[in-house]
Amino acid sequence: MGAYWAPGYYVERIVTAIQEGKFADGMRFLGVLLHHVEDRGAFAYWPDLHKKGNLQDLEALHIEGYAPLSLGETVAEVAANLELRMREMIKFGERKVDLLKNSYDAENAEAVERIVFEFHQEACRAAADTIESVAHLVDCEHSANYWGYWLEFPNAGNPTMLNLVDNPSFERDDGSGHPDGWVVGWHNLKDKLGQATWDWSRKHSVFSKVVRSGERSLKLMWTPREGIEWRQRWPVAIEARPGEKYRCSGWMKTQDATGETYLAVYLYKRGNKLCETIKGAVVSGTVDWRQLSFEVLVPEGVEKIRLACRSDGNAGAAWFDDVEIIRYE
């Protein structure tokens, strides 16, 4: 019965993730919460029935005509009311378990099916209310955003004229010492010289300009010939559809840079299989902040794209800030 903590733990995380644009994380958190909610729709005190008491007629299980309810106006209200709902479901099971056991022992399959069906229907209603409550919190606490766009236009693909990159200026901290949504990738695991750091303007003189905006930037230096990069983490990879056009851009600064420093977009097919890499213009030498951009036309079979800030064979240093991936018509 330890799952009663789930609403208090997950509701806030679901809403926060969606508001920050991390929709895949939000849906994963919602999936875990729904599992806990639906698990209250099983007769937990009778293991034999828990294993065997499944409905035979799955097509009969539906909540057609049921209008899902919002369980509150705040995260705290939704969490508290959802926990209460889960406890009520268990009380329902406790009231019915003796009747169900007697029907089971008497091999009265029709009676067993009827009781189990009633219990499962309530689990379906509770799950629907959970989803409705999350959508209500997002819609009511904040103005229309990317989440609202997807709800209204589910088949339209990504919206246009909106930066789809999560944490594009690298200001947000995930608590791990790395910018939220970004991870370092080494293309030569034996290299011991190259560095990838999350640079901070407060560590430098105001004249050094290691950031273009805010207080943070990404830095790569002394990179091996094979390269080092900062790339988007999988949870914030951008869903894409064949035929969509994207403009990718970012600001770069270099100091005594050799080799090639550039932005790259990785294109992935189903199963996260890399099928193509598109590189932007290369920067080298000593260059103050400069914005470079390039375009990507999504080919057939591609489902996801990720942006990377990369430097190959660089004996100097390079900084990146304010990156964008924008879909345009």
Residue 145 — pLDDT band, cuts 50, 70, 90?
very low
Q: Number of folded domains in the chain?
A: 2
- The answer to whether residue 163 is domain-embedded is no
In terms of Cβ atoms closer than 10 Å to its own Cβ (0-12, 13-18, 19+), residue 226 is middle
| pTM greater than the 0.95 cutoff | no
User: How many Å apart are CA 7 and CA 233, to the nearest integer?
Assistant: 27
- Residue that the structure tokens 């964008």 belong to: 324
Number of residues in the chain: 329
In a shared domain, residues 199 and 295: yes
**Mean pLDDT, all residues of the chain:** 85
DSSP string, 153-176: -TTS-SPSSSB--SSTTS--B-SS
pLDDT(147) > 80: no
Tell whether 58 is covered by a domain: yes
* Whether 187 and 147 share a structural domain: no
In terms of domains, do 51 and 116 share one? Answer: yes
- 168 lies in some domain: no
pLDDT for 121-141, tens place per residue?
Answer: 888 889 999 999 998 887 654
* pLDDT above 90 coverage of the chain, percent: 50
CATH number of the domain that residue 298 is part of: 2.60.120.260
Identify the pLDDT of residue 43: 64
6 & 144 share domain: yes
- Longest Cα–Cα distance in the chain: 85
pLDDT of residue 152: 57
Q: Are residues 202 and 127 in the same domain?
A: no
Q: Is 167 within the bounds of a domain? A: no
Residue 62 resides in a domain: yes
- Taking 80 as the threshold, does the pLDDT of residue 156 lie above it? no
Note down the domain range covering 276: 182-328
pLDDT band for 96, please (50, 70, 90 cuts): confident
Buried b (16+ CB within 10 A) or exposed e, 170-179: beeeeeeebb
3-state SS class at 140: helix
Q: Are residues 148 and 196 in the same domain?
A: no
The confidence band for 248, taking pLDDT boundaries of 50, 70 and 90, is very high
pLDDT at position 141: 47
pLDDT in tens, 203-233: 765 556 899 988 999 999 999 999 999 999 9
Among 152, 170, 193, where does a domain finish? 152
CA 112 and chain centroid, separation: 40
157 in a domain, yes or no? no
The per-residue pLDDT for 254 is: 97
Query: Are 306 and 221 in a shared domain?
Result: yes
Cα separation values, 161 from 21, 48, 248, 326, 329, Å: 16, 56, 12, 6, 9
- 136 and 43 both lie in a single domain: yes
Q: Is residue 319 part of a domain?
A: yes
Instruction: Determine, yes or no, domain membership for 161.
Output: no
Claim to verify: residue 40 and residue 89 sit in the same structural domain = yes
